[in-house]
A and B are shown apart, each in its own frame.
Chain A
């Protein structure tokens, strides 16, 4: 069978096209669909048998009629041509140029689905990345090869935060050397433009590969876009030895596209209509981050997702949190108080922090300071809760100190300028200034030596 075209579509439903009587079609193969006006659409075989072949059409089946639709099976999986020229370019979800420049021509092509990294080949991420943002560096440090998502909500400044991280990320004491793969799914034109301008103004555009699917582009293309983008990232990291930072926004749009196809296929739904395999499917994307033995490059991933109705137990953030190595959660309350970046500290977490901070990476007291800030802030929030019921005047002196600690923490530690690039030492010194509001006997997470060296306790009433 040599790339024959067939005209035997038997049914079309949503994004699915059913073909009858096409023998020996391989699962996952790429398909080109041509409508009666000769316009082309991309598709992929998602179920195959001798009787019926099921094709998922990324552009949908609107306007197709069964009689005049031609389907060509390319007898190859989805592949992306790769060369160093991809840097500085903009592509769509299937890797076609969308910047009016010629397509990438290369003999090197890779299957966009990749294949699982052998756990025995991985190497454990432990190099601290300084993002210049105190709540990340100080409390939830990012390391090279980590996947750390931003859980956000509609209207919160996740794009500005992601852009700031892209601008500032570097190893302490080194120049920024990241190549950036930017994958946008279902974002508005304005958001895509914002990132483009950000990359341009910070002079990194020649180190960025963009894969863009706008809100009015075919939604099914979002199913393949992150895979295409990560194939490019793997090439940059493991063939060209670059450290790659992958920003994916917005994973919620991806999951919604997946649900749409699953429903059309008649898959058994698990929670909120999402298919039972959502976890495995997300894992195939997220787990492509990491480091590999004997390779110089790395893939660090920051997926952005908006939590529907700010609900962290919604299946998309929930399953993501089970796969990724922590999460940075943005909070609406802080945002409404004008705090930028509005990182809600208690539910935020970095699982790989423990091995990337401390003596050899940042500063010796870092892990204990982070733990103490967490404990102090949690206690302070309890005191604030209490104050809202009985009034601040009724609180004990200790609790009033906690109240002023919470206010200072949110204003001076969480809050910072959009152009403010704090070194990790500045962040830690700042932390000790705040901890000095609290008496030494309340600080059980730090050592006596830490207290002697950094704590500036003066007895007196809280300001």
Chain B
């Protein structure tokens, strides 16, 4: 038992000999939870996850003997946890609408029982080691949780429970290790959040992570097991992009970590996800979703922890052989929490007040993404997508610039596009993806061999139009040739017909890869056919005024993903509108010739 010496906001100095760095500590009469982040002789510096108001020097401090850990087992899915994995609905039952301090609530429901089905090919006497599957629990209609031997345990299986209903606390297996110790295994186990869970080997990522968003999937693709960032100033639509990914991505499990963001955004997810259906399984989206919520008004230290709590749970599902996507909104708030603690400790700031270890912490976090061969020999992946909130929209600030060096897909949101209500406001000039070559193989095999070519054509068209746009701004459109004006029209078609995608439109919110390619191909064909007409001397105005151009622009919301074939009708419409003009002008050309 120790004693509190000093309280400085969330940083408390305690007299507590023999405590370890990283160990959990209970502080004061109300029992606030904290974590040792520094030692000085017999004194320990503790960062506390809850508000320290009304705590006095002289009150007690108690070391708990373990680092910050999470409970991993059935009961995680569909749940909403705070930054240190306390279930918020249970906290609501205990303390009402506001979060009281000092509550100790286990993450997993101890009273609920789960149908455990043991693995048939295992029996007493078998050698078994960490990561091996002991059996399965059907947690939701779509997700079967595999119950794993906790990493680090190795020995002989002495007892294996029969099929039946078990609570997470009940023993379902006993393992005798080489020293003769018996380990009791339950449906859940604990894991320290700041240590990455082990795997057998890293595997190259190869499958596209599809989000149903055209600008992401087609133009700046991400792979399962990849790492991506979404930076953007406020109001650029960061949250909507992240929520669209959480909704429509083709992962098995989605983890959404609301780190220092708005309370109402999490409520939005909590209220809408149960009603939305997963386009891949047809079941409620909430069955595969897990939320970690540390809103901006919740204590800042728990915000720092929430990212690690999230990624540890993601790794746990990866170890069962699932593809997991974790969306962290926002890593800037996490970095600010780091800065706040560093500032209170009096550490020397380097850039904009951030501590020197910001870059290495960021890199270490993103390194927990990846596709792996699990200890059980299966393949699973964790994809990390971090939102970044640069102050003033300035991408050269420390968090954005460090993140940019770490991630391989960078979806840069642009204030100009957002102001024009061009959503998703992902800018094509600043964004990049290092996965295009691998994704191209996937698209060529699954969708169309010309994907990579079409993608490049569209990006070149956009870049060319941006250049011409600058000229127009200087000297006006009169200076442009007919061909150049058609480039501007073509780029506008790409923007309106392909890039812009409404999250609120039930037809357009999700776009299958087939439809993505069909739309891109349609728009580019219109551009190419129009260019032929120009060669015959047709003025740009005559083409752009055709009513069929409106149909092309609106095709994205007229045909849902399961009726892609009908998009060909638009193609025919275009030809029917263009053909008479072509005939008229080619006849005129022949006459003059």
Asked if A115 and B98 sit within 8 Å, CB to CB, the answer is: yes
* Given known A-B contacts A124-B271, A441-B545, A313 and B393 have beta carbons under 8 A apart: yes
**For chain B residues 236-288, which have a beta carbon within 8 Å of chain A?**
239, 258, 260, 262-264, 266-268, 270-271
Q: B111 contacts the other chain (Cβ, under 8 Å)?
A: no
Most buried by A among B13, B333, B421, B473: B421
Q: Let me know if A287 and B57 touch, CB within 8 A.
A: no
B99–A116 CB distance below 8 A: yes
B420-475 at interface with A (beta carbon < 8 Å): 420-421, 472-475
User: By CB atoms of chain A within 10 A, which of B98, B234, B478 has the most?
Assistant: B234
Contact partner, B340, options A277, A287, A323, A390, Cβ 8 Å: A277
* CA–CA, A275 and B9, complex, Å: 14
Measured CA separation A325–B297 after assembly (Å): 14
- Does A24 lie within 8 Å of B56, measured CB to CB? yes
Complex contact A49–B296 (CB within 8 A): no
Contact status A390-B6, CB under 8 Å: no
Q: Is A207 an interface residue (CB 8 A)?
A: no
Q: Beyond A77-B54, A287-B263, A313-B391, is A119–B296 a contact (Cβ under 8 Å)?
A: no
Q: B87: nearest residue on chain A (CB-CB)?
A: A120
CB–CB A27/B55 < 8 A: yes
Q: Which of B327-355 contact A (CB under 8 A)?
A: 333, 336, 339-340, 342-343, 349, 352-353
**A346 interface neighbour in B98, B299, B343, B419, Cβ under 8 Å:** B419
Are B57 and A50 within 8 A (Cβ)?
yes
Interface string of A310-335 (1 = CB under 8 A from B): 00011100110111011100000000
For the complex, what is the distance from the CA of A292 to the CA of B271, rounded to whole Å? 13
A48 contacts B296, C-beta separation under 8 Å: no
Contact across chains for B235 and A321 when beta carbons are under 8 A apart = yes
Interface size class of B (residues with CB under 8 A): 35 or more
CB distance from A286 to the nearest CB of B (A): 8
A270→B97 contact, CB < 8 A: no
Q: Report the nearest A residue to B52, measured CB to CB.
A: A27
Q: B-facing mask of A341-379, CB < 8 A → 1, else 0?
A: 000001101011011000000000001000100110011
Contact A444–B296 (Cβ < 8 Å): no
Chain A residues in 8 Å Cβ range of B120: none
- Chain A positions 19-62 with a Cβ under 8 Å from a chain B Cβ: 23-29, 47-50
The bracket for how many chain A residues form the interface is 35 or more
Proximity bits, A276-311, B CB within 8 Å = 1, else 0: 110110011011101011010000000000000000
Q: Whole-angstrom distance between the alpha carbons of A375 and B417 in the complex?
A: 10
Evaluate contact between B92 and A118: CB separation under 8 angstroms. yes
Contacts of B473 in A (CB 8 A): 385-386, 389
A386 and B472 contact, CB distance less than 8 A:
yes
- B349: nearest chain-A partner, CB-CB: A268
Q: With a CB–CB cut-off of 8 A, which chain A residues contact B106?
A: none
Interface set, chain B 34-77, CB cutoff 8 A to A: 51-58
Tell which of A115, A120, A279, A395 touches B51, judged by Cβ atoms closer than 8 Å: A115
Q: Are B496 and A276 in contact (CB under 8 A)?
A: no
Of B6, B233, B266, B352, which contacts A50 at CB under 8 A? B6
Docked-complex contact A23 and B98, CB < 8 angstroms: no
Nearest Cβ on chain A to B336's Cβ, whole angstroms: 6
Q: A50-B5, A116-B298 are in contact. Are A270 and B56 (CB under 8 A)?
A: no
Contact A125 B55, beta carbon cutoff 8 Å: no
Say whether, besides A23-B57, A347-B419, A123 and B97 are in contact (CB < 8 Å).
no
Closest-by-CB residue of A relative to B98 is A115
Interface status of A394 (Cβ within 8 A of chain B): yes
A118 neighbours in B (Cβ, 8 Å): 88, 91-92, 95-99
- Any A CB within 8 A of the CB of B550: yes
Contact of B297 with A288 in the complex, beta carbons under 8 Å: yes
Query: Which of these, B55, B97, B339, contacts A121 with CB under 8 Å?
Result: B97
Any B CB within 8 A of the CB of A267: yes
Q: Who on chain B is nearest to A111 by CB? A: B53
Q: Is the CB of B353 within 8 A of A375?
A: no
B353 touches A270 (CB 8 A): yes
For residue B300, CB closer than 8 A to chain A, the reply is yes
| B477 at interface, CB cutoff 8 A | yes
Q: A444 with B496: in contact, given A323-B262, A325-B264 (CB under 8 Å)?
A: yes
Interface centre among A25, A120, A125, A327 (most CB of B within 10 A): A120
Q: How far is the CA of A19 from the CA of B89 in the complex (A)?
A: 43
Residues of A within 8 A of B472 (CB): 386
Say yes or no: is B504 at the interface (Cβ < 8 Å to chain A): yes
Q: Is the CB of B56 within 8 A of A48?
A: yes
Is A49 within 8 A of B98, CB to CB? Answer: no
Give the most central of A275, A279, A293, A314: most B CB within 10 Å: A279
Q: How far is the CA of A47 from the CA of B12 in the complex (A)?
A: 10
Chain B residues whose C-beta falls within 8 Å of the C-beta of A389 in the assembled complex:
473-476
CA distance A220 to B335 in the complex (A): 28
Q: Which of A254-279 contact B (CB under 8 A)?
A: 267-271, 275-277, 279
A293 to B392, CA, bound (A): 35
Closest CB in chain B relative to A146 CB, distance in Å: 8
Give every chain A residue within 8 A of B7 (Cβ-Cβ): 27, 47-49
B483 within 8 A of A: no
Residues of A within 8 A of B349 (CB): 268
Q: Assess whether A120 is in contact with B57, with CB atoms less than 8 Å apart.
A: no
Instruction: Closest A residue to B266 by CB, please name it.
Output: A119
Task: Tell which of A287, A295, A318, A375 touches B392, judged by Cβ atoms closer than 8 Å.
Answer: A318
CB neighbours (8 Å) of B392 from chain A are 313-315, 318
A322 touches B420 (CB 8 A): no
**A436 CB within 8 Å of chain B:** no
Is A425 part of the contact surface with B, judged by Cβ < 8 Å?
A: no
A83 at the interface (CB under 8 A from B): no
Kindly state the separation between the CA atoms of A223 and B52 in the bound complex, as whole angstroms. Answer: 18
Asked whether B419 lies within 8 Å of A444 as measured between CB atoms, the reply is no
- Complex CA gap A19/B468 in Å reads 68
**A396 at the binding interface (Cβ < 8 Å):** yes
Q: Give Cα distance in the complex from A352 to B263, angstroms.
A: 12
Q: Chain A residues near B89 (CB, 8 Å)?
A: 120
Chain B residues with CB below 8 A from A238, complex form:
97
Quick one: which of B534-574 are within 8 Å of A by CB?
A: 545, 547, 549-550, 553-554
Contact A121 B92 (CB under 8 A): yes
Answer yes or no: B222 CB below 8 A from chain A CBs.
Answer: no
Asked if A441 and B13 sit within 8 Å, CB to CB, the answer is no
The answer to whether A114 and B98 have CB atoms under 8 Å apart is yes
- In whole Å, how far is A112's beta carbon from the nearest beta carbon of chain B? 11
**Is there an interface contact between B92 and A27, defined as CB atoms closer than 8 Å?**
no
Q: Are B297 and A124 in contact (CB under 8 A)?
A: no
A77→B474 contact, CB < 8 A:
no
**Which of chain A's residues has its CB closest to B338's CB?**
A276
Complex contact B56–A115 (CB within 8 A): no
Asked if A240 lies at the interface with its beta carbon under 8 angstroms from chain B, I say no
Interface membership of chain B positions 1-44, coded 1 if the CB is closer than 8 angstroms to chain A and 0 otherwise: 00001111100010000000000000000000000000000000
Q: Does A11 contact B (CB under 8 A)?
A: no
Residue contact B476 to A323, C-beta cutoff 8 Å: no
Interchain CB contact under 8 A, A77 and B296: no
Do residues A113 and B343 form an inter-chain contact, with CB atoms below 8 A? Answer: no
CA distance A117 to B264 in the complex (A): 11
- Pair A26/B343 contact, Cβ less than 8 Å: no
Please tell me if B100 contacts chain A, counting CB pairs below 8 Å.
yes
**B51 cross-chain contacts in A, Cβ below 8 A:** 113, 115
Residue of B nearest to A391 (CB): B476
Question: CA A388 – CA B555 in complex, angstroms?
Answer: 36
Shortest Cβ-Cβ A-B pairs, 3 listed: A313-B392, A49-B6, A283-B296
Chain A residues within 8 Å of B, Cβ to Cβ: 23-29, 47-50, 77, 111, 113-125, 145-146, 238, 267-271, 275-277, 279-280, 283-284, 286-288, 290, 292-293, 295, 313-315, 318-319, 321-323, 325-327, 346-347, 349, 351-352, 354-355, 367, 371, 374-375, 378-379, 385-386, 389-390, 394-396, 441, 444-445
13 further contact pairs, Cβ within 8 A, besides A49-B57, A321-B234, A374-B420? A29-B54, A49-B7, A111-B53, A117-B98, A118-B88, A119-B263, A145-B264, A271-B352, A275-B343, A325-B264, A378-B419, A394-B476, A395-B476
- Cross-chain pairs A/B with CB under 8 angstroms, 6 sampled: A115-B100, A280-B336, A315-B391, A378-B419, A379-B420, A386-B473
